[in-house]
Amino acid sequence: MNDGFHALDIVFFAVVAVFLILRLRSVLGKRTGNEEPPRWTRTPKDDGETADNVIDLTRARRPVEAEPDVTADVAATAGPLARGEAAIRARDPSFSNTGFLSGARMAFEMIVGAFAAGDKKALRPLLADQVYKPFCDAIDARARAGEELSTEIMGIKSAEIIEAIMVGTIAQVTVRFVSEQINVIKDLDGRIVEGDPSRIVPVTDEWTFSRDTRSKDPNWHLSATRAVTEGDAPHDAADEVQP
C-alpha cells in the first residue's frame, strides 16, 4: 500500500513540474535572435527616440578628468594683497589670516603696555632689532626727563591686514590697528604733563610683522611701525609709540 502512495506522489510532482515549465514558456517566450535588447542597454534610434535608463559604458570607463587648476588664474586676477598672502602660504602653509590677526592683536596690546611701562625685557622677544633700539632709546629719553607714561587700551576697534609680501625668504605682513586709548604723561611729582586721564583718544597704527620662513621659530616680530594721524605725515619708530 505504501508503494501505491509513493507512485501517486511521483505522478503528482511530475504533473506540477510540467505545468510550471509550460507557464514559464508562455511568460518568457522563446529567443529567436530577433528580440530587441533590454532597455538598459538599448541605444537611441535614429528617429530621435530617447534612451531612458541607458548607461554609456564607454563613458563610464573613461578616466575622470581632473578639475581644472584655477590657482594660476586666481593669482593672475587677484589683487596685490591676495597674491602676497598666497606667496606667504606657499612658503609657510600654516599661515592664515584669522590666526595671524589673533596673534597680532595680542602682540599689539603687549608691546604698547610694555613700552609704557618701560619694560625692555618684555619687549625684546617681540621686536626685531631695527625696532627694539628706537623703542629702548625712547624709554631711556623718557627716564632722563623724569617722565612716566601711562597707556590704557580701552579696546581695539579693528585689526586689518593691508599688505603682505615676501622679500626673499622673509614674510612681511602689515596690519592697520584702530584702537581707543587713554595716554597720560606725568612728571616725577605726579603732575600731568600731557594727556587727559578722562579722555579716550582714537589711535590708528600700521605695524609690520616679519618672519624668516626658513626658521623653525614660528614667532613673528614687529619690524616697522607707523602712526597714522589724519593730516599728519608718518612718524619714525621712536615717535610713533608716544602719545
pLDDT tens readout for residues 118-167: 999 999 999 999 999 999 999 999 999 999 999 999 999 999 999 999 99
100: closest CA among 172, 28, 22? 172
The DSSP call for residue 145 is: T
Residues 6+ apart with CB under 8 A from 136: 120, 123
**Could you give phi then psi for residue 89, rounded to 5 degrees?**
-65, -30
Concatenated DSSP letters of 29-74: ----S-PPPPGGGPPPPTT----TT---HHHHHSPPPPPP--HHHH
Residue 228 has what pLDDT? Answer: 84
CB 184 within 8 A of CB 197: yes
CB 124 within 8 A of CB 132: yes
42: closest CA among 54, 25, 24? 54
Task: Give the tens place of pLDDT for each residue, 182-191.
Answer: 999 999 889 9
Q: Domains in the chain, start-ordered, CATH in brackets?
A: 1-65 (no CATH), 77-240 (3.10.450.240)
With residue 192 as reference, give the H or E element that holds it.
strand 192-195
Tell me which long-range contacts 87-95 makes (C-beta under 8 A, separation of at least 24).
87/164, 87/165, 87/166, 88/164, 88/166, 88/171, 88/173, 88/213, 91/166, 91/169, 91/171, 91/213, 92/171, 92/211, 92/213, 94/218, 95/171
**Residue ranges for the chain with pLDDT beneath 50:** 5, 24-74, 231-243
Residues 6+ apart with CB under 8 A from 212: 169, 170, 171
Q: Determine the 3-state secondary structure of 25 from DSSP.
A: helix
Torsion angle in degrees (nearest 10) through CA of 108, 113, 119, 124: 0
The whole-angstrom separation of Cα 20 and Cα 26 is 10
